[in-house]
Amino acid sequence: MMASTSIRRERVGAHTVFRLSGDWTTNGLAVLEDEVGEVVDSAASATGSLTVDAAGIDALDSNGAWLLSQIVQAFEQHGAVVEWTGLNEHHQPLFEQIRRSRPIPQPPRQVTGILRVIEHCGEAVFLWAGNSLTFISFLGLTLVRLLRAVVQPRRVRFTSLVHHLERTGIDSLPIVAMLSFLIGVVLAYMGGEQLKRLGAETFTVNLVAVAVLREMGILITAIIIAGRSGSAFTAQIGTMKVNQEIDAMNTIGLDPVEVLALPRVLALMISLPILTFFADLMGLFGGAVIAVTVLDMNIPQFVRQLSEAVELNHFMVGMVKAPLFGFIIALVGCYEGLRVSASAESVGQQTTRSVVESIALVIALDTLFVVFFSIIGV
């Protein structure tokens, strides 16, 4: 007759002995659930050596061997020295096989101080490098699709293109007009106040014209579009990814880059130069309002000074940057949308990343353009 299944604990000084007995098979382990849990929990406070006496075990199967290895592993993880005695030679091979098959969890590394900072910096660098390579791959794929669309215009989905032109271009006119007008007002007012002290308030027109045409017009427009249209691209494509519409497109043989990204990229490359031209006009209009109302200039004076201050290259510098900025904003928006995972939270995270990355890239590229045009004397 088998002994009752149990775990008895005996303690002699710093030495602990666990005496195991009974039926350690699936049928007999139900009564041990609480006892095994208490033994495993006590491993954290264990000190000294430990002996497991398995001489009383009458029967053992894989479930029982797994519980035994769990007990041993819990104590070994906390530095205890475990010694086995009395295990039946028929049970020994099964126990050893189960023990070898269990993964040995590694204790968490204790990283503090400057090492933690270095570790986080290293992880961030590797993550940035991986994301950069993926983005470059998507850039190359999109350029290939663009070149193919140039060679084969019938591949362009013109209905989708016109739709996005309306959403990114016409619908953006009010906010672009308002903010560009206010930028012109601020530039003229602040510049005029400073130049008036030098008796050179007439040159406020030069300041506003050059600043708006070369930098502020395209920058404020690109930032608005990045926050408005770039985020919308990410949210739209990300929602399709969550709803498995992208997977369905792949299943029926449609290319998501050609169907979703290409019309959006072309739409922004067309609409952003138009919006930039409109922003330049509104910025100059804002400067004219301040020149007339604050600086005591009349409209003919403003127009004459503007024609003397503005050269064609000032206007072209801003317009040349517009298609490239539109391409970057649309590219980042579509890229982050396609990276959305299967959760609504991911849509919000990638939308935020899209806006931040688009604005950062636009400003970085604008800086490179400033340096380049300065070097070539434009």
pLDDT at res. 20: 72
Q: Are 48 and 16 in contact (CB under 8 A)?
A: yes
How would you classify residue 310: left for phi > 0, otherwise alpha for psi between -120 and 50, otherwise beta? beta
Q: Are 265 and 329 in contact (CB under 8 A)?
A: no
Q: Are 244 and 341 in contact (CB under 8 A)?
A: no
CA distance 200 to 190: 13
pLDDT > 60? residue 3: no
> Across residues 60-70, what is the average pLDDT?
75
Q: How confident is the model at residue 276 (pLDDT cuts 50, 70, 90)?
A: very high
pLDDT at res. 39: 67
Instruction: Indicate the SS3 state at residue 286.
Output: helix
pLDDT > 80? residue 280: yes
More reliable by pLDDT, 140 or 1:
140
Q: Which of 51-60, 154-163, 219-228, 317-326 is predicted with the least confidence, judged by mean pLDDT?
A: 51-60
pLDDT at res. 47: 59
pLDDT > 70? residue 209: yes
pLDDT at res. 83: 73
CA distance 274 to 323: 10
Closest CA to 269 of 227, 214, 321: 321
Encoded tokens for 14 = 């710093």
Q: Is the pTM of this model over 0.85?
A: no
Instruction: Indicate the SS3 state at residue 53.
Output: strand
Per-residue model confidence as pLDDT tens digits over 39-51: 666 655 555 667 7
Per-residue model confidence as pLDDT tens digits over 92-139: 777 777 777 765 555 556 666 787 788 888 888 988 898 889 989 999
Closest CA to 188 of 210, 164, 159, 155: 210
> Would the CA dihedral through 314, 315, 316, 318 be positive or negative?
positive
Q: Which of 109-118, 190-199, 231-240, 347-356 is predicted with the least confidence, judged by mean pLDDT?
A: 109-118
| Spans of all domains in the chain | 6-101, 109-155, 156-376
Instruction: Indicate the SS3 state at residue 244.
Output: coil
Collect all residues with Cβ–Cβ distance below 8 Å to 200 and sequence separation of at least 6. Answer: none
> Across residues 275-295, what is the average pLDDT?
91
> Across residues 246-272, what is the average pLDDT?
91
Q: What is the mean pLDDT of the chain?
A: 83
Encoded tokens for 152 = 């084969």
> Across residues 358-375, what is the average pLDDT?
92
pLDDT at res. 232: 92
More reliable by pLDDT, 198 or 225:
225
pLDDT at res. 174: 93
CA distances for 222 relative to 175, 204, 230, 339, angstroms: 12, 25, 10, 23
Q: What burial letters (b/e) apply to 99-114, b meaning 16+ CB within 10 Å?
A: beeeeeeeeeeeeeee
Question: Angle formed by the axes of helices 231-242 and 312-338, to 10°?
Answer: 20
pLDDT at res. 184: 92
Local structure of residue 7 (DSSP, 8 states)? E
Superfamily of domain 6-101: STAS domain (3.30.750.24)
